[in-house]
């Protein structure tokens, strides 16, 4: 029997949807495409039926929901205006309340899932760094209940049997010799959890107390900085994305950039307050993760290989280390600026002294000559300063990005021997070959279903592009769903520099 076709999508980032009191979307919402998702799911079912009733397994590969970009139910009390907007509650109970509100704001999402399940297909839900809470049984039960209500309203559908085909996995979807699918945030140093397997914290209050400390830097920035900006275009919190975004604001919306700069002050206060709380040991959270990892290693058949894969995660950039790095970088920048400024002022003063040597014995026009010389010297030093600072800024912004996810995909392909490795997380569509022992594998990144920030990318793509990966047998193809054509088209990708590949 042929294996099921795999359809992989990621990074929908469903927030709280529409506010029933105003009829408008919530200020942090990023997903406005519920109707498109519903027609996509109907198209999947129609296509599978037309192809001889092919089995389909639809995989939501992380960040389907956005627990970070969700305003609290009511303003929380805090010492400053910044604290009134966003809560610090990372408990499973809070996650249950949040998913209830998200699904209430996106009823068509549940209808889309019910459409796939009612047609006899399967759905697999994987967690990402914005919805790590999908591991909690309470959150899973809420989604099952909402989708089950949609199934029950469909005539001729066995709702109880259909809902059993909605599956939740704590980390990855693995089919031996075929595919490895996970969100990929664990290989991003700015978005990796130290202890990502956390379903067991539900019965461990001591572990729940440790959850806020195991928050990746990207998550911290999203909750306490980017959320504060409100409806400013959503981007993936990372150093490279931040710099590209600041560059765009600098040249196109300087007023917004000014507001962003002023909003950093309460964010810095938040960081300092977080650091002042002291180090909290991870003993309980580490115990929960270790037990879940051992159980998953057994149930998946991966054994020791899963422990080696878990060791691939990149947790260099936790909050404490990031703060230390930021302080070091700040001192380096300050020292460089001070050194450059001292040199510039020294040259300027030297020029003034030399100009003072022009005595009255020179022909008339000495005052004009001095003025012109002083103006020339000032403009020269100012232009040099602006040029050096601009060159450093552009060099930092346009620096080639590392490919940690690509390198991880290469190691995973060799570790588990699969033909396809698929991640999400970065919001960039990627497809390139990997060197597999005894053959070749492929790495695919499914991008996102929300608007992407591509002002500086000269690629022929839509601003919103509903990308997905289709795996049929061992062959995988990166496609995008076109609602206007009611069809899927190949994603347009351009050859990259071979030296950028991770092998």
Q: What is the pLDDT of residues 372-387, one digit of tens each?
A: 766 776 777 777 766 6
Among positive and negative, which fits the CA dihedral 11, 16, 20, 21?
A: negative
pLDDT digits (tens, 9 = 90+) for 316-353: 655 555 555 556 555 665 666 667 667 667 766 666 66
Alpha carbon distance 51, 54 (integer Å) = 6
- Average pLDDT of span 145-151: 97
pLDDT at 278 exceeding the cut of 60: no
pLDDT digits (tens, 9 = 90+) for 13-34: 999 998 888 888 988 899 999 9
Q: Is 262 helix (H, G, I), strand (E, B) or coil?
A: helix
pTM for the model stands at: 0.82
Alpha carbon distance 349, 486 (integer Å) = 70
State residue 467 phi and psi, 5-degree precision. Answer: -85, 150
Alpha carbon distance 463, 455 (integer Å) = 9
Q: How far is residue 398 from each of residues 105, 218, 243, 278, measured CA to CA in Å?
A: 38, 20, 9, 36
Strand 56-61 to strand 122-126: parallel, antiparallel, or no bridges (unpaired)?
parallel
Strand 420-423 to strand 179-182: parallel, antiparallel, or no bridges (unpaired)?
parallel
Residues forming beta bridges with residue 5, ordered by sequence position: 56
Burial of 86 (0-12, 13-18, 19+ CB in 10 A): buried
At 496 the pLDDT is 66
User: Cα torsion at 493, 8, 33, 167 (round to 10°)?
Assistant: -170
More confident residue, 499 or 180: 180
Alpha helices in 51-136 (DSSP H): 92-105, 107-118
Alpha carbon distance 278, 197 (integer Å) = 24
Alpha carbon distance 22, 382 (integer Å) = 51
pLDDT at 37 exceeding the cut of 90: yes
More confident residue, 326 or 125: 125
Run of H or E residues at 381 = helix 366-397
What's the mean per-residue pLDDT of the chain?
A: 82
pLDDT digits (tens, 9 = 90+) for 386-442: 666 666 555 544 444 447 888 999 999 999 999 999 999 988 899 989 988 778 899
Alpha carbon distance 270, 380 (integer Å) = 42
CB 478 within 8 A of CB 460: no
pLDDT digits (tens, 9 = 90+) for 201-254: 999 999 998 888 888 888 887 887 777 766 665 666 555 566 666 666 677 777
Alpha helices in 236-282 (DSSP H): 239-252, 254-276
Across 59-73, 393-407, 429-443, 448-462, least confident range: 393-407
CB 105 within 8 A of CB 26: yes
Q: What percent of the chain has pLDDT over 90?
A: 49
State residue 424 phi and psi, 5-degree precision. Answer: -125, -130
Q: How far apart are the first and last CA of the chain?
A: 35
At 400 the pLDDT is 41
More confident residue, 457 or 414: 414
pLDDT at 462 exceeding the cut of 80: no
Residues forming beta bridges with residue 167, ordered by sequence position: 124
Alpha carbon distance 79, 270 (integer Å) = 11
Q: Which of 30, 40, 16 is nearest to 111 (CA)?
A: 40
Among positive and negative, which fits the CA dihedral 101, 105, 109, 113?
A: positive
Q: Which of 131, 126, 107, 117 is nearest to 166 (CA)?
A: 117
């Amino acid at each position: 029997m042929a294996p099921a076709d795999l359809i992989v999508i990621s990074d929908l980032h469903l927030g709280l949807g529409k506010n029933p009191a105003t009829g408008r979307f919530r200020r942090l919402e990023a997903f406005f495409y519920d109707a498109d998702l519903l027609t996509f799911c109907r198209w999947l079912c129609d296509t599978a039926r037309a192809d001889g009733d092919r089995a389909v397994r639809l995989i939501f590969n992380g960040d389907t929901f956005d627990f970070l970009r969700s305003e609290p139910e009511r303003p929380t009390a805090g010492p400053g205006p910044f604290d009134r907007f966003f809560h610090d509650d990372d408990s499973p109970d809070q996650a249950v309340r949040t998913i209830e509100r998200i699904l209430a704001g996106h009823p068509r999402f549940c209808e889309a899932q019910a459409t796939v399940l009612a047609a006899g297909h399967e759905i697999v839900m994987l967690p990402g760094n914005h919805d790590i809470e999908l591991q909690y049984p309470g959150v899973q039960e809420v989604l099952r209940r909402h989708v089950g209500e949609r199934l029950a309203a469909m005539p001729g559908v066995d709702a109880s049997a259909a809902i059993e085909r909605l599956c939740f996995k704590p980390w990855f979807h693995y089919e031996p010799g075929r595919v490895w699918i996970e969100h990929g945030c664990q290989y991003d140093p700015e978005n990796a959890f130290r202890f990502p397997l956390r379903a067991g914290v539900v019965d461990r209050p001591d572990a729940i107390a440790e959850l806020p400390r195991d928050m990746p830097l990207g998550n911290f920035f999203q909750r306490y900085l980017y959320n504060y900006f409100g409806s400013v275009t959503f981007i993936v919190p990372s150093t490279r994305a931040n710099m590209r975004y600041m560059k765009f604001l600098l040249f196109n919306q300087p007023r917004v950039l000014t507001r962003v700069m002023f909003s950093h002050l309460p964010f810095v206060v938040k960081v300092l307050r977080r650091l002042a709380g002291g180090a909290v040991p991870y003993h309980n959270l580490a115990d929960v993760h270790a037990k879940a990892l051992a159980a998953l290693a057994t149930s998946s058949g991966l054994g020791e290989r899963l422990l080696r894969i878990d060791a691939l995660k990149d947790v260099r950039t936790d909050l404490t280390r990031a703060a230390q790095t930021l302080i070091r970088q700040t001192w380096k920048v300050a020292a460089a600026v001070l050194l450059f400024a001292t040199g510039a002022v020294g040259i300027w003063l030297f020029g003034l002294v030399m100009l003072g040597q022009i005595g009255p014995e020179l022909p008339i026009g000495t005052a004009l000559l001095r003025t012109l010389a002083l103006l020339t010297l000032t403009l020269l030093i100012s232009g040099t300063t602006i040029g050096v600072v601009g060159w450093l800024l552009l060099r930092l912004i346009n620096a080639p990005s590392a490919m940690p996810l690509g390198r991880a995909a290469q190691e995973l392909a060799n570790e588990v021997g699969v033909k396809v490795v698929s991640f999400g997380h970065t919001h960039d569509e990627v497809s390139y070959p990997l060197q597999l022992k005894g053959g070749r594998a492929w790495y695919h990144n499914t991008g996102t279903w929300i608007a992407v920030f591509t002002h500086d990318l000269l690629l022929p793509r839509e601003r919103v592009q509903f990308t997905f990966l289709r795996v049929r047998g061992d062959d995988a193809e990166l496609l995008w769903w076109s609602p206007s054509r009611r069809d899927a088209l190949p994603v347009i990708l351009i050859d990259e520099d071979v030296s950028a590949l991770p092998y």
